[in-house]
Amino acid sequence: MKALRIIRKITKFTLFFIFLCLIGVSGLYIYAKISPKLEIKSANAFLMYDSEQELFFQGSGNQEWISLDNISPYMVKATLSTEDKRFYDHYGFDFIRIAKAMYVNLTSKQKKEGASTISQQYARNLFLDFDKTWERKIKEMWITIQLESHYSKDEILEGYLNTINYGHGMYGIENASHFYFDKSASDLTLAEAAMLTGIPKSPSNYSPFTNYELAKKRQVNILYMMLKNKYITEEEYENSVNEELHLVGEKEKDTITSISYYQDTVMKELKKLNIPESYLETGGLKIYTNLDQNAQKILEESVNNNLTKEDDIQTAAVMMEPTTGKVIAIIGGRDYTKSQYNRAYSSVRQVGSTMKPLLYYAALENGFTSSTTFTSEATTFTFANNKTYSPQNYGDSYGEKPISLATAISYSDNIYAVKTHMFLGEETLVNMAKRLGITAQLDQVPSLALGTASINMLEFAAAYAAFANEGYKVESNFIQKVEDLKGNVLYERKYEKEGILNKSLTYILSNLLTTTYDADYIDYSYPTALSIAPKLKHTVALKSGTTETDHWSIGYNKDIVTAVWIGYDDNKSLSVSDYKYSRNIWADAMEGYLKDKPDDWYEMPSNVVGVLVNPITGKPATNEDKVKKILYYVRGSEPSETDTVFDEKYDYNQNEKSSE
């Protein structure tokens, strides 16, 4: 009897709780009905403009909006069968499906099934992001109720199909149909409709351009579900499974496919801005970006023309305006249709010898000159706790004689770099990097001078921009201004100049970085970028960097900073033949961008003088010198014949000045 009373109490409580829930839900629907109507055709309408204010991307706005009546019936049936077969029978939430999903997930102890309806997914599409927070879930539920209260089922389904993400930057079925099959959504076959229906679950996995076998398998599963749900016949199923699909992958022949990397990065930056939440959720936005479509095309062509290997080698590249940090072009990978991962924005890679310009600027601040000499010879360094470090030059090539800073940069001499690093103190380079805006964790170790640290490309390019703009700190940025659809300004970037470097020293360093492709420096070794010298028609500063797994080329002039990286996502070792790719991509991109522009180099500061010297020794030139070059110095620091070779007065094994 006692147990029966308990059961009765639980039953009464459950029924009362359900009654309260029904009252509450009914109240929400009534409140939603009298609330302002959501304008779904303008929701999530992201209009992106380039630096010339030309529209280059429109998200799920109404430019490619197609009515439900004009969408292939196969597409409608495939979507309903796959996503929500009881769509026309519920009010936004399928409680039968929710209960089933809960049972399956609890018994399997895994999340095998979801229960989102088309209405819920459409509500989610009206958001910029998909954060899995309770606040986000509640807002999603509320918008679902609003949709169901104000719009018919056909209108909701139409909105869903016009806003869903079909991968590769294609939002909406009409955009996707043209991209994948070069036809309108009204003309899709059953096989094509099933293929497209499978993509939104995971665009990066189920795109036929990313993984055709996986996409085909999902297409067949969707066709089987349609057969099982009696949307199609057995004959239609068999014919569609065997139908050969003719994929296109672009709307026009001159499409800049890599522009999708720029679009994705703009959306990431947009989330960080102080835009009113209502606009980010359901309002349309006009986003004025820093994209230079000509530069983006040049960068893409530079990659495609040079990186012809049929393997999984990857690349990343950026072009940045040095005075502002505006990113005018970005390549996040070799092929956006195969990988949407943006290596320029999201990854960090070992920078190799491209770290050296940061070290050498610090050296110039601490009394070094273009002629400061260390001996190029195999050296073992002893540092903390009697640890030793024995760096090597590329090819084990050493001059076995004193060489100037100019020559050390030209050859990328590792011994010279580590000697400089140890001479200045290992904290000097770390502090220099922080001053330039690098936030990566940098260890105070001898190898840091050779770029063993991993740094993000955008951050590193911004550091080089301070050299290129003669001393001002910048941050990479993609968005200039954001407006609502009525033209009200919601955000506008302000640029403030913070001087962090000495203009005279940046001038000297920039000239030193022209030695990397200068044939006059051929001696016991060769300038590291000599192979691309015939391509360079403009004076540019350039430094390359090589590790076992990474190869970089970064350089600049007054107009542009360009950084290029080559490597493998799985950190596979590069071959020597791979090294040429980053240099050639870099050279083609720089010269392509600077084409028809004058060779406008920096103006020499008044306190800087040029001196004719032997470039290898750094000493004033004599009649006996076959090669003579003008190097630059702060007035009063010009070289003389009697200048001391630095490592003759420095004991590296004790890491302190010797007493002699």
> Using CA of residue 431, residue 437, residue 443, residue 449, what is the dihedral sign?
negative
Q: How many helical (H) and strand (E) elements, i.e. helices and strands, does the chain have?
A: 22, 22
Q: Among all chains, which residue has been given the structure tokens 């000493």?
A: 619
- Active-site annotation holder among 83, 158, 174, 483: 83
Alpha-carbon distances of 132 from 136, 142, 321, rounded to whole Å: 7, 16, 37
Q: CB-based contacts of 224: which residues, under 8 Å, 6+ apart?
A: 237
DSSP string, 216-258: HHHHHHHHHHHHHTTSS-HHHHHHHHHPPP-----SSTT--TT
Q: What is the 3-state secondary structure (H, E, C) of 138-162?
A: HHHHHHHHHHHHHCCHHHHHHHHHH
Alpha-carbon distances of 158 from 67, 68, 70, 369, 472, rounded to whole Å: 6, 5, 10, 69, 51
Alpha-carbon distances of 647 from 62, 99, 380, 643, rounded to whole Å: 69, 77, 13, 12
Q: What phi and psi values does residue 478 have, to the nearest 5 degrees?
A: -115, -25
Q: What phi and psi values does residue 284 have, to the nearest 5 degrees?
A: -85, 150
Distance between CA atoms of 383 and 658, rounded to whole angstroms? 15
Q: CB-based contacts of 567: which residues, under 8 Å, 6+ apart?
A: 313, 314, 349, 549, 550, 551, 574
Does residue 83 carry a catalytic annotation?
yes
Distance between CA atoms of 202 and 508, rounded to whole angstroms? 51
Which 3 state secondary structure label does DSSP give 527? coil
Longest dimension (CA), the chain: 118
Q: Among all chains, which residue has been given the structure tokens 């030139």?
A: 621
Cβ–Cβ under 8 Å, residues 555 and 586: yes
Distance between CA atoms of 450 and 545, rounded to whole angstroms? 9
Distance between CA atoms of 386 and 381, rounded to whole angstroms? 9
Does residue 459 carry a catalytic annotation?
no
Tokens for 145, please give them: 């109720």
Q: For the chain, report the end-to-end CA distance as a whole number of angstroms.
A: 103
The CA-CA-CA angle for residues 134, 140, 146, to 5°, reads 140
Q: CB-based contacts of 404: which residues, under 8 Å, 6+ apart?
A: 370, 371, 372, 373, 613, 615, 616, 617, 618, 631
Cβ–Cβ under 8 Å, residues 149 and 128: no
- Active-site annotation holder among 81, 177, 258, 353: 353
Strand residues in 262-335 grouped as ranges (E)? 285-289, 314-320, 327-331
Distance between CA atoms of 370 and 406, rounded to whole angstroms? 6
**Element of type H or E holding 556:** strand 550-556
Distance between CA atoms of 193 and 75, rounded to whole angstroms? 5
Q: What phi and psi values does residue 72 have, to the nearest 5 degrees?
A: -50, 130
Residues, the chain, total?
660
One-letter amino acid for residue 40 of the chain: I
Name beta bridge partners: 455.
349
Name beta bridge partners: 552.
545, 565
Q: Which residues are catalytic?
A: 83, 353
